[in-house]
Amino acid sequence: MLGNGVVGILSESVNKWERRVPLTPSHCARLLNGGKDKTGVARIIVQPSTKRIHHDALYEDVGCEISEDLSECGLIVGVKQPKIEMIFPDRAYAFFSHTHKAQKENMPLLDKILAEKCSLYDYELIVGDHGRRLLSFGKFAGRAGMTDFLSGLGQRYLGLGYSTPFLSLGASHMYTSLAAAKSAVISVGEEIATLGLPSGICPLVFIFTGSGNVSLGAQELFKLLPHVFVEPSKLPEIFAKANDSSQPKSKRIFQVYGCFVTSEDMVEHKDPAKRFDKADYYAHPEHYNPVFHKKIAPYASVIVNCMYWEKRFPRLLSTQQLQDLMRQGCPLVGISDITCDIGGSIEFVDQSTSIDSPFFRYDHLNNSYHHDMEGNGVICLAVDILPTEFAKEASQHFGDILSEFIGSLASTIDIKKLPSHLSRACIVHRGALASLYEYIRRMRNSDSEDTVDNHGNSPSKKKKNYNILVSLSGHLFDQFLINEALDIIEDAGGSFHLVKCQLGQSIGATSYSELEVGADDGAVLDQIIDSLTSLANPKENNGIQSKKGNGISLKVSKVQESGLKKESETKSTSAVLIIGAGRVCQPAAELLASVGSILSRQWLKTCMENNFEGHCIQVLVGSLFRKDAEEIVEGIPNAVAIQLDVMNRESLHKYISEVEIVISLLPASFHIHVANACIELKKHLVTASYVDDSMSKLNEKAKSAGITILGEMGLDPGIDHMLAMKMINEARARKGKIKSFTSFCGGLPSPAAANNPLAYKFSWSPAGAIRAGRNPATYKSQGEILNVDGDNLYDSAVRFRVPDLPAFALELLPNRNSLVYGDLYGIANEASTIFRGTFRYEGFGKIMGTLARIGLFSAEAHPILKNGKRPTFRMFLCEILKVDSKNMDETLKEEKGISERILSLGFCKEQETATSAAKTIVIWCFYIMK
């Protein structure tokens, strides 16, 4: 069947928006009308589709056959990968497969192709003599991403109170053609040139990153607006002119600015004496510090991100950097992350969006995400299939190139007879990995303890006596140097385990791999490192190191257990599933994965009676976004990342069935779904949340299933409940009665570290701590029920001195409703006092109470739209302290001025409290909310 000249075109099934085709009707017409002798194509069979950009009838008109059945086709082509059931024996396939760096999520597809003895050509690997990919949609991603963002920009500005010409733009897919979309952008540009933009949003500066087709496509649309491109060094000057009070102010601005930045503008060498060197930066990014947030971002209105990024490089913009910039008044309105690199160069872009709903809003004040265009923060576009919005033109461009290759792929059986650019793109030929891609098998085997290679030899995957971490970067895959590196390791008798692999997104970009290399002999390991070093730095015939190099840089670092003698080969293994990828997840995964290792045994013996020697735990970390899970498990042995949607019953049951215990670190509302699955599959469950009513109702079901469901058992609630019940039960065992129950706790800095006016430091969300201090409280004291309003909670603090520690002066604050614990502990009818509270160092309540009365904890204290303006924290403070804005700086520049205003307005009576409150305000004003 292979090479019979019959071509099949798949109907795309991966995404509902995917309307592109690999070959248009006009391409098919040329292939069919040219005759098989010239084109290599005898017939073309097209699977029917009602959403494809070109209707079935158009294919029929040019001589194609329409049929669901592609079994007669020797070559089957698509844009995205087909369903596994569409893989027939002895066929050739061509599509974007995403398999050539052994991506785990696509290995089932690769295994099917191998099993059916098929051939696989990957478009991404078809490279011309110039070293660039021949088949890509890059410019169309940039064009669609820019059009979509300009449309969203109009909506965002409207939400901020500005009407702009951008509001008339639609999303890319709303236009019948790319030309129509460009025409709409040109109309917007004409309106800007004629009527201008509001001066309140100008200078409007677009920052472009990346130099490939994606960036060029985005700039192509941007240049349809009246614009001026400026050098990065000129950005401060533009803003200085705009803010120059001596110059006459224009009410309207008639142009926008563009600025293209490179790596040199994003980082600087850690050694001030050294200048930026691109080759050195790519080889040793650890030598450089990020400066984009200092030099470029403060002047950006829009960041159009088109750059390739790897984890080893500094981020373009971290979440903390963005938060700091926005608090300092940065004009950034939004980000068009056309690369859609989730959690990548722009850290807070932690989710992809869809063509249906292309934007989310990141609120930097609350570190929260929203899907509207109004409120604090920046809007972000992160659609991962942008080219399909211009499906007609993208397909035409793609097919113009692919149609030149189709005949060779359709009529050739022996890949040796293919042109080199096609033979090098063949990952699998007739059921076997091509020699260039043999590394895929070896990389997969390195992750498996039980895999046997094609020669029947068990791979040496057992932990070696000597291990070291080797980082390789460069043109590993496009020049296939990865094969040479693995040959060096295995030929010397060593082993390797793939820790990380990141592939360059274009042929000009480098790739990066981390390998844990092991050997039973230290001398052998040294030999391997020497050989890898020679591969990275080859010498010429005269023995002098080649200036050209081999396209690889190498870095060696220690493995945590380097040099340790190998452990017991007969370990028993348990599996744990952790669901969620928040901050709590990584230490939990590290702790569990380390059980059974030499380094963990000492601390285990100190807290557990069980002996875990000879036992290890396999940890699965599941997240809705696989990349989040991969970041968590990075560098953790025995830990694997999986994509898991707990609302998908089939997927949830699949992974729970593979483990002994499930740990859910999801928001509490999701626990019920996980718990029901655990009961059905008889698997234990641990959560980090309070046990609510929905979970409590599962008690009998869990008992019947013979499993344990364990909720939060920390300090509060948790240990306090256990100690309380222990004391109550012991008292009753002695025929005693509970007359009074008082419980309080708190997290305090040590006295030496309590070095701010509040004598307190936030170990959890500051906003959460403030909200907790605004909750009403109810408790019983000497038989009397007392209620404290939330507005007066801080003023209700009671001074308390620890009997054995007289130097510690504390105060107690009642903690919400204490009465419920009377019923919980069975003491409601006998205890005349029931009080649960929180303690702080003395003075905390007075200061916080004063700040509450001022109004600093009210909703109005946050920057909101007011009279068409967005007030700063200092402006708000001026208003509530009744300070004239002209004298604002004079009043706020020192604590004395603020404390006098607090006293004069009657917010407190003591000078000491007023002074402490003023100090706290100054800290917040000048360090947190400038």
Q: Which residues contact 225 (CB under 8 A, 6 or more apart)?
A: 185, 188, 189, 192, 255, 256
Say how many C-beta atoms besides its own lie within 10 A of residue 819's C-beta.
Answer: 16
Q: Give yes or no: 716 in active site.
A: yes
Please, what's the b/e burial string for 257-293 (b: 16 or more CB within 10 A of its CB; e: otherwise)? bbbbbebebbbbbeeeeeebeeeebbbebeebebbbb
Residue (of 480, 400, 425, 430) closest to 122 by Cα position? 425
The residues with which 228 forms a beta bridge, in sequence order, are 257
Residue (of 714, 756, 929) closest to 841 by Cα position? 756
Catalytic residue (choose from 280, 384, 487, 716):
716
Determine the Cα–Cα distance for residues 828 and 783; give it in Å rounded to an integer.
Answer: 10
Q: Across 765-900, where does the E strand assignment appear?
A: 777-781, 784-788, 798-801, 809-814, 833-841
Alpha-helix runs per DSSP H in 752-865: 766-772, 820-825, 844-854
Determine the Cα–Cα distance for residues 819 and 786; give it in Å rounded to an integer.
Answer: 10
DSSP 344: S
Residue (of 261, 357, 270) closest to 316 by Cα position? 261
Determine the Cα–Cα distance for residues 71 and 94; give it in Å rounded to an integer.
Answer: 15
Q: Give the strand pairing for 92-95 and 75-77.
A: parallel
Say how many C-beta atoms besides its own lie within 10 A of residue 457's C-beta.
Answer: 8
> Amino acid identity, residue 453?
D
Q: What interhelical angle do 844-854 and 911-923 show, nearest 10?
A: 70
Residue (of 823, 825, 824, 820) closest to 731 by Cα position? 825
Sign (positive/negative) of CA torsion 597, 600, 606, 610?
negative
Q: Look-up: residue for tokens 């040219």?
A: 34
CA atoms within 13 A on the CB side of 237: 6
* Furthest-apart CA atoms within the chain: distance in Å: 103
Determine the Cα–Cα distance for residues 589 and 633; give it in Å rounded to an integer.
Answer: 7
∠ CA 710-711-713, nearest 5°, is 100
Q: Any long-range contacts for 551-554 (C-beta under 8 Å, 24+ apart)?
A: 551/474, 551/475, 551/479, 551/481, 551/510, 552/472, 552/473, 552/474, 552/475, 552/476, 552/481, 552/485, 553/282, 553/283, 553/284, 553/472, 553/473, 553/474, 554/470, 554/471, 554/472
> Amino acid identity, residue 469?
L
Phi, psi of 103 (to 5 degrees): -60, 120
Secondary structure (3-state) at 641:
strand
Active-site residue set: 716
